[in-house]
Structure 1
Amino acid sequence: MPRLPAHIQIYSDESLESYLLRLCQANYFDSFYDFALELKHLLWEQESGAAGGLPTELAAINIYHAQQDSGRRSQALFLVEKMLELKPFTLLDITFKHGTSVDLYQRATVSYQNHIIPRHYLRQNSIPICPVCLQGEQPYIRYLWHLEPVKACVEHNCKLVECCPRCNETLNYMESELITHCFCGFDLRKCEQEPADAKSYWQLNPEAFSAFGDCSFSEKLAVLSLLEQLASDKNQEVLLREGIDFFSRLLEERISEQLTLATKPLSKLSFRTLSAGLIDELSKVSNLPQGLISGVIKAILIKALDTPKTSLGCLGDSLLSPRECAFLLQSSVNDIYRLYETGVLSPAIRLPSKQTIQSYQTIFRLQDIAGFTLSCSSFMAVTSSR
């Protein structure tokens, strides 16, 4: 296996593009394009198929950019690891990979190490920097700076710099192929440090997500993505402080609005209609914290069992689909089918014999599912601890 002359340290929170750019410079190549051509030549000697999976453009190098040839891209990076005498998967560990799930409205996710990230959070046109971080002995680009919600450096409590203070051009090291300097030559390490403001509240305040329990980084991003869709016009800091109360109020507002418009008996209406699809919206977001999900379920159960009866009936009379039942029971649709087939769950409407129930078909009474949910000890253990 051929070797590159110069090897450099790799950092666990570094972006793939940053490391390869520093490696390019350490080996005295004039541009990343020239460096990539050399890598492709070396790879061709080992595995011609893998060589074809390595692009020559720095901004396209990451695995998540590859579609049909993502396997060849991964193989190429694995062979580059061997050239650098790195432990297996060291380089692959700092890539943004394809996620196996989708977030709200079926948008794709990516993964970085153990973090699941909504793909729309990846910055496309600019990559801001922390000037203090770049003052280190080995300046490099953190993967967090690639994420749109990240507006500040937690370590130094300052805003990330998005534009060069001299020429006012947006910063993007993948275009300039410069880590510490702007296109115009300005040393970014000399940028003035501006204290972080409320826009970085979620990232800087360790208590920002306390209302949802102990949240991982992936869960925090999932909550932010959900809040953007449900209340993009409201202050993020306020919504995070409200926590479960926000979702309870949103549920109340949606149901109240739909009830004023209802003309049919509630026993003929789906809960999806009455809640404006709130369960569907929550179900489509991967990695939501369990504290948030349990809080929403609890709010739904209270509404189902405690809503006064009107001339049209009560909210508990509305109908649920197997998918919605699975959400309330925190189980799978197959579990709901099994409970139905064994007679534990009874449909609220008469079904033709041997008819296959579709996952979206609204046939179960909300109050029946609410009562069964409350009879499950696992659910009660979760909600009582919140």
Structure 2
Amino acid sequence: MFLFTPKSKAYDDEALESYLIRIVNENFFDSYQQLSRAIKDELRELDFEAYGAFPLDLKLLNIYHAKQDSHFRMRAFELLESLLNLPKFELQKLAIFRSYKKINSQSTVNWKGIDFPLSFVRYEGASPYSIPICPECLRDEPYIRQVWHFKHYQACDKHNHNLVEKCPSCNLCINYIANESITHCSCGFELTNTKPFKAPEFKALLSSSMRGKTLDSSNPILNDTPLYQKLSAIAWFQKRYFELDSFDNESIINYFEKWPKNFYQELDEIAKDAELKLIDTFNKTSFTFIFGNLIFSSNLLSEGRSRGHFVWTTVENYLLDLVSKNPKSQKTNIADSLINIAEASAILSTSYEQVYRLYESGTLKAAFRPKIKQKLTTNEGVFFLRQVVELKKSFGDHYSGVYLSKW
């Protein structure tokens, strides 16, 4: 099988699907399916496992779409690189991979070392999302920028114009993957002729921040806060206040502009009204009943990486202050509310297993005596908030996550 090597290498910020479309065009195929069938015929002879993993449909090409055996697809990419005489990993460096990490309990994908919630990607599987474009960028260089695939990226940070979602000629959603054309709509309209419109400042600011640019700002979404923290904070914000598919960039910017004062005020209002909604005394009431899933949802990333995250640090500081302002007395108060093992694990920056050991050693005492041979469940309020927070303070940050060995 002979294929022409593309005249230009892949751009560093190019979408994988965009590069494959350029390869299709330069090799005079009518469609991606023609190329993919030719590649599969070659794979059948050379690597049968990779043959089965290589998709015929362009919308399923990217590695994160592979439900399993993604390494077979990577092997197929390696063969394609050799057929095109491309440098090693030229295709893989453009790919979006599935990640084992979670952001706010959401599945994630990884692009160039950064984890994104999967829900942030504009085109997932067969979902009919528009993939908007910047006509000026296409005039500069006709290829699709990967950031256009991400929902939070709504304005071009280079030209400060809104991304164009619909064709001005036929009003259909622009989707270069479905259309297999980078510069033209399915109706034939040349997208580089689209008149751009200036983007509102909040859209341009967020797009710029998501590209890794920073501002001298107190807003953690715009300043030099690490990108993974910005993305997980946006995921946390959406889950707490909006539907997951809602990307209101103005609300995101405005909310974090007042951070953390606005969040502390919100929590203070909840705490102030807590006694009015009590069914039982505080020491028989779960923390979750009062504050909802505050602790666990704010513990944003798996594997303890949330330690140091500005949202989680804010929650930690609030809990320390809440216990400090509500000292133990004859009458129970909000610091005597009950937290479960998962919440204790988050506060102590340790594993569930370590929390069980702390309980078994008597370091943590249950608020009630469990039945004989009954194991504590992870979602039942069992420890006093006060006790866990004070234990956290006694160990200090330097010893977080290290408590007791199992022998």
TM-score, normalised relative to structure 1: 0.88
Give secondary structure in 1 for the equivalent of 2:17. helix
Give secondary structure in 1 for the equivalent of 2:135. coil
* Unaligned ranges ≥5, structure 1: 382-386
1:25: Cα distance to partner? 0.7
Q: Distance in 2 between matches of 1:171 and 1:158?
A: 16
Q: Distance in 1 between matches of 2:23 and 2:204?
A: 32
Please tell me the residue identity of whatever aligns with 1:264: D
Deviates more, 1:203-212 or 1:48-57: 203-212
Residue of structure 2 equivalent to 1:167: 170
Give secondary structure in 1 for the equivalent of 2:116. strand
Correspondence list, 1:68-107, <5 A: 68-104=68-104, 106-107=105-106
Q: Distance in 2 between matches of 1:90 and 1:319?
A: 53
1:144: Cα distance to partner? 0.8
Give secondary structure in 1 for the equivalent of 2:108. strand
Q: Distance in 1 between matches of 2:48 and 2:295?
A: 49
Kindly indicate whether the alpha-carbon contact (under 8 Å) linking 2:299 and 2:312 is maintained by their aligned counterparts in 1. Answer: no
Residue of structure 2 equivalent to 1:225: 235
* CA separation of 1:253 and 1:90: change in aligned 2, threshold 3 A: farther
Q: Distance in 2 between matches of 1:276 and 1:117?
A: 25
1:171: Cα distance to partner? 0.7
Q: Distance in 2 between matches of 1:160 and 1:363?
A: 51
Residue of structure 2 equivalent to 1:241: 257
Identity %: 31
Once the two structures are superposed, what CA deviation does each residue of 1:63-105 show, in whole Å capped at 9, x if it has no partner? 222214434323222322232334443312221222213344x
Asked if 1:270 corresponds to 2:270, the answer is: no
Correspondence list, 1:186-197, <5 A: 186-197=189-200
Give secondary structure in 2 for the equivalent of 1:368. helix
Q: Distance in 1 between matches of 2:328 and 2:71?
A: 58
Q: Distance in 1 between matches of 2:5 and 2:338?
A: 66
Runs of 4+ in 1 over 6 A off after TM superposition: 308-312
Kindly indicate whether the alpha-carbon contact (under 8 Å) linking 1:321 and 1:359 is maintained by their aligned counterparts in 2. Answer: yes
Kindly indicate whether the alpha-carbon contact (under 8 Å) linking 2:18 and 2:143 is maintained by their aligned counterparts in 1. Answer: yes
Give the alignment partner of residue 144 of structure 2, picking from 123, 141, 145: 141
Q: Distance in 1 between matches of 2:346 and 2:265?
A: 19
Kindly indicate whether the alpha-carbon contact (under 8 Å) linking 2:220 and 2:230 is maintained by their aligned counterparts in 1. Answer: no
1:223: Cα distance to partner? 1.4
Asked if 1:333 corresponds to 2:355, the answer is: no
Correspondence list, 1:1-386, <5 A: 4-7=3-6, 8-104=8-104, 106-124=105-123, 125-136=129-140, 138-197=141-200, 198-204=202-208, 206-207=214-215, 210-211=219-220, 214-232=224-242, 235-283=251-299, 290-307=309-326, 313-352=332-371, 355-378=374-397
Q: Distance in 1 between matches of 2:172 and 2:293?
A: 43
* CA separation of 1:209 and 1:360: change in aligned 2, threshold 3 A: farther
Deviates more, 1:34-43 or 1:195-204: 195-204
1:121: Cα distance to partner? 1.5
TM-score, normalised relative to structure 2: 0.84
Kindly indicate whether the alpha-carbon contact (under 8 Å) linking 2:5 and 2:86 is maintained by their aligned counterparts in 1. Answer: no
* CA separation of 1:333 and 1:209: change in aligned 2, threshold 3 A: farther
Once the two structures are superposed, what CA deviation does each residue of 1:264-313 show, in whole Å capped at 9, x if it has no partner? 11011111211112113223656766122111110122112213789962
* Unaligned ranges ≥5, structure 2: 124-128, 243-247, 401-407
Kindly indicate whether the alpha-carbon contact (under 8 Å) linking 1:53 and 1:69 is maintained by their aligned counterparts in 2. Answer: yes
Kindly indicate whether the alpha-carbon contact (under 8 Å) linking 1:202 and 1:209 is maintained by their aligned counterparts in 2. Answer: no
Q: Distance in 2 between matches of 1:174 and 1:193?
A: 22
Kindly indicate whether the alpha-carbon contact (under 8 Å) linking 1:157 and 1:204 is maintained by their aligned counterparts in 2. Answer: no
Q: Distance in 1 between matches of 2:238 and 2:398?
A: 28
Please tell me the residue identity of whatever aligns with 1:273: F
* CA separation of 1:22 and 1:209: change in aligned 2, threshold 3 A: farther
Q: Distance in 2 between matches of 1:334 and 1:248?
A: 31
Once the two structures are superposed, what CA deviation does each residue of 1:350-378 show, in whole Å capped at 9, x if it has no partner? 34565433332322211111122223332
Q: CA RMSD in A?
A: 2.7
Q: Distance in 1 between matches of 2:398 and 2:272?
A: 27
